[in-house]
Structure 1
Amino acid sequence: MSESGHSQPGMYGPGRRRRRRREREIGPTGQNLSGPGRERDYMPRERECWEGTEESAGPMLQKTPIILAKPPAERPKSSQTAVPTNAPMEKPIVLIKSREEGKPAPPTDGAIPTTGITVKAEKEGQRPTQPVYQIQNRGMAATAPSSNVDPVIGQAKLLPPEKMKHSIKLVDDQMTWCDSAMEYLLDQTDMLVVGIIGLQGTGKSTIMSLLSANAPEEDQRCYVFRPQSQEIKERGGNQSIGIDFFITQERVIFLDTQPILSPSILDHLINNDRKLPPEYSLPHTYVEMQSLQMAAFLYTVCHVVIVVQDWFTDLSLYRFLQTAEMLKPSTPSTSHDSSGSAGPDEGTEYYPHIVFLQNRAKREDFCPRNLKKMHTVVDKLMMHSHLKYKGSLSMLDCKVFPGLSRGYLETEVNLFLLPGMDSDGDDSLIRAGSATSPLFALLPGYRGHPTFTSLIGKLRSQILSMPRSQLSHTILTEKNWFHYAARIWDGVKKSSALSEYSRLLS
């Protein structure tokens, strides 16, 4: 049968299977592996290490910890493994920050690491929570929601305040409050508010531009407060209407106003037949009340009020200042009275610092004798005023008069002299000996005072260094000041004292 090619009996039958089972039991060398106590000799090494770990816990721990360098949602799909949600977790999960270059690997022998590692034992049936270190992961920088968010602290960075390029309206030509300035204000209390008033054509807008953001050598068409153009000067008009607002990067708020008692505004009302408000019957009464409202408003919301005049002096201007002080609304109490009429006692009333600026001063005005007379006149005119017109500004501190001491001016007021802007480039001044000697012709002409650029810089430094008194009974931020000023303007327009004064004028 075998010779004819057929298989022999037992080659693939039951006998063959019995011989294979026998070899598995006795082993290839004939040793008996099926007896008692022999299973451990043939056990795989991995199982032996695992059982040895269970028998002797401690430093012999060889189980590989689960290391999560990224949260599960950010891991690649190929590296993610299915983990049953109800699988019991007998050992703690070690969450380790991604290893940095040049640093040793964190320990895994049971010691608690000091930095970059979070060890947390989870209860049975719970999934591991998101580790705290994830905000420090380098891989999250590409998935940051915005460039303004710091990946280390997870907070938005402080952005610089928006820089203004030109002034905007705070009060328009209809004497209506505007809210466009709110977007430029911050929630901080370190601010200074400077306002200015003056007659028509005295240079208010030019001075405010030079104090805030511009230099004398710049083109006047680029000033933040637009000055009068040549066409407006020729027809005797006014450039500023209402109240203009500008805030610098140093958080100084400048308020430029339309001219007080302006003849051009009165002429515009009469010639254009503009309808007056019902409480005013005459155009000149309406113009005067507008001026008083703006002056009373500046007295309440400004730290410094600059009064500009281009010749010394107009007695009607001081009478106007005292009238506005009389009609000034009381400082609102903490009860937030919208009318602004209810306030504390007179002793706690707020009054700003007032500065008298003599613009386009002549050479003889800088004479020490004339300067002393001017201080005496202003002091006598303002002696009954509650406005702070003394002790806030001094020309003697600017070293304009090097030979004069502080005791020379017995009654020094906040008076500052400013020459004309065109005096810096005027070469037609008298030069000593210029007609006879060519040597003196090379020297600059004697002006009798410092240059306009030098004096405007000294004025700016003194204005910005003035005391910043508290405007109300509570400390105001920039945004709170804006709402406070809106309440004051509304209270000024509805003031019973101003209405009664208007009735007396009619």
Structure 2
Amino acid sequence: MSESGHSQPGLYGQGRRRRRRRGDRDVGAPGQNLSGPSRDRDYQPRERRDGSEDPPGPLIQKTPIILAKPPGERAKSSQNAPVSGASATEKPIMLMKARDDGGKPGTPPEVAAAQPSSSGPSKLEKEGQRPTQPVYQIQNRGMGASASSSAVDPMVGQSKLLPPEKMKHSIKLVDDQMNWCDSAMEYLRDQTDMLVVGVIGLQGSGKSTIMSLLSANTPEEDQRSYVFRAQTQEIKERGGNQSTGIDFFITQERVIFLDTQPMLSPSILDHLINNDRKLPPEYNLPHTYVEMQSFQIAAFLFTVCHVVIVVQDWFTDLNIYRFLQTAEMLKPSTPSASHDSTGSSGNDDGAEYYPHIVFLQNKARQEDFCPRNLKNMHMVVDKLMTHSHLKYKGTLSMVDCNVFPGLGQDYLSPEVNMFLLPVQESDGEDSLTKAASGTYPLFSLLPGYRGHPSFSTMVSKLRSQILAMPRCQLSHTILTEKNWFHYAARIWDGVKKSSALSEYSRLLC
């Protein structure tokens, strides 16, 4: 007990707070009329548990937070509250976010000193530290309001600016067992500006090489580094095939290339027979299974691709056109539009979707580039594809590529989507050989006449023509890359379970 016997307001306030923490009954405020012993008992200073008395001293009252003070009041406040010398001369700090108490980082020393703090002096009052002026709080939508700015990763806001992951080689979309693969999903993004290009052709026609040159490689590179593996010399000698199923590759320009196994391949049939592979229960003969695999792949490409390239290494095989017409007949129908009209925009007339077809004559000879022969080739293709719904003309032109600068625009009136690629060889080989032998010493620096531009020039022109093809809407709903992947998976599952394909395979037996 105190010797003076008089009560002190500061000590009374401290004792009152201690009784509340210990769960004792509450007492009145100093302004209330308390009678009798209770008033005397409550106003007596309390002793500590160790027997010592509380030291007398004024109680620092909690004052409202003032963000900007006039010079006169700031001077008075600095006299009452001890602050460091660096903080005493600070200018008014405009805070961008209100603070709840003075113990949080970023609070000015003047405000922190005027607030009651049980943890001692503020951290900003240490020597050598000054508050940031102005203070900006970094807010992240994915974090709560109580998260501190130090926990915010500065790279989070830049994640959407990172370029998409670049593919180094092709991956499987459909494996050799005709099963769908999901590994291509991680390379796709949520954007709609894409182009899907597929290819079909007979064995050894050069499908994988052409797709590699159109996507990511150049003719000068080694073929072993191509994104789509071409036939090696050993495979060519034993008459085998390199590609199986469907291979997937997407470029940085968001162009999806689909390379397929050869159509009606004799090597796949030979491998199926000699290795005693089990056939699916719905197929009785191996050759029927191989033929239906080809129809399934072609019908799938006709549904999910903007452009389908038909590669031939000679002109022309009538079985190719018969195969295209059969695959068009077995093609699954375009899914109907959703009942919900919001977010779906169907085709203009609700007709079935058909892709653009490009007939590529690979390994063309010099006489194939003769304008008269070229016109005859266009007329033959036009007659064979007259009754087809596939878009086989009007979107690709060799005349517009300036391959034949002397021909007029109306020379190939029924101009179909046909392009000729010469045999791939090193440029200037003949001229260098003649220059070394001394046959033409004055013209040794000029390339030899071949009847057509070089192979690399023709590949560049073909690539520009393919990438400029119209990107029609594949379904009644606008598809992103990821949506296209799910749409293609649903189409492939529907093709494998198609009743039309099953009925056609039954008729082949």
Q: TM-score, normalised by structure 2?
A: 0.71
- Over 3 Å counting, the alpha-carbon distance change for 1:345 and 1:445 in structure 2 is closer
Deviation at 1:60, TM superposition (A): 8.8
Question: How do 1:131-146 and structure 2 match up within 5 A?
Answer: 133-135=136-138, 143=150, 145-146=152-153
2:275 aligned to which of 272, 280, 287: 272
Distance 1:504 1:195 in 2: 28
Deviation at 1:197, TM superposition (A): 0.4
Distance 1:475 1:385 in 2: 26
Is the radius of gyration larger for structure 1 or structure 2? 1
Deviation at 1:477, TM superposition (A): 0.2
Distance 2:256 2:305 in 1: 9
**What is residue 103 of structure 1 aligned with on the other side?**
none
Q: Percent identity over the alignment?
A: 77
- Over 3 Å counting, the alpha-carbon distance change for 1:317 and 1:157 in structure 2 is closer
Distance 1:142 1:214 in 2: 47
- Over 3 Å counting, the alpha-carbon distance change for 1:196 and 1:445 in structure 2 is same
Deviation at 1:141, TM superposition (A): 12
Q: How many residues align?
A: 395
Distance 2:350 2:329 in 1: 15
Which amino acid is the alignment partner of residue 360 of structure 2?
A: L
**What is residue 91 of structure 1 aligned with on the other side?**
none
Which amino acid is the alignment partner of residue 177 of structure 1?
A: W
**What is residue 503 of structure 1 aligned with on the other side?**
506
Distance 1:141 1:431 in 2: 77
Which amino acid is the alignment partner of residue 217 of structure 1?
A: E
Gaps of 5+ in 2: 1-68, 76-90, 118-130, 140-146, 340-345
Q: TM-score, normalised by structure 1?
A: 0.72
Which amino acid is the alignment partner of residue 155 of structure 2?
A: N
Distance 2:404 2:148 in 1: 62
**SS in structure 2 opposite 1:398?**
coil
CA contact (8 A) 2:434 2:440 kept: no
Deviation readout 1:224-283 (Å, 9 max, x if unpaired): 111111111111100001000000000000000000000000000111111100111111
- Over 3 Å counting, the alpha-carbon distance change for 1:386 and 1:430 in structure 2 is farther
- Over 3 Å counting, the alpha-carbon distance change for 1:134 and 1:501 in structure 2 is same
Deviation readout 1:11-42 (Å, 9 max, x if unpaired): xxxxxxxxxxxxxxxxxxxxxxxxxxxxxxxx
Find out whether 1:148 has 2:151 as its counterpart.
no
1:224 aligned to which of 224, 227, 232: 227
Deviation readout 1:352-374 (Å, 9 max, x if unpaired): 00000000000000000000000
2:115 aligned to which of 65, 83, 97: 83
Find out whether 1:284 has 2:287 as its counterpart.
yes
Deviation at 1:68, TM superposition (A): 7.2
Question: How do 1:354-503 and structure 2 match up within 5 A?
Answer: 354-422=357-425, 424=427, 426-427=429-430, 438-440=441-443, 443-503=446-506
Deviation at 1:406, TM superposition (A): 1.1
**SS in structure 1 opposite 2:458?**
helix
**SS in structure 2 opposite 1:439?**
coil
**SS in structure 2 opposite 1:62?**
helix
Gaps of 5+ in 1: 1-57, 86-96, 100-115, 117-130, 337-342
**What is residue 239 of structure 1 aligned with on the other side?**
242
CA contact (8 A) 1:431 1:445 kept: no
**SS in structure 2 opposite 1:348?**
coil
**SS in structure 2 opposite 1:497?**
helix
CA contact (8 A) 1:194 1:254 kept: yes
CA contact (8 A) 1:296 1:325 kept: yes
Q: Please tell me the root mean square deviation across aligned C-alpha atoms, in Å.
A: 3.3
- Over 3 Å counting, the alpha-carbon distance change for 1:344 and 1:491 in structure 2 is farther
**What is residue 158 of structure 1 aligned with on the other side?**
161
Distance 1:59 1:266 in 2: 93
- Over 3 Å counting, the alpha-carbon distance change for 1:370 and 1:60 in structure 2 is closer
2:105 aligned to which of 74, 92, 114: 74
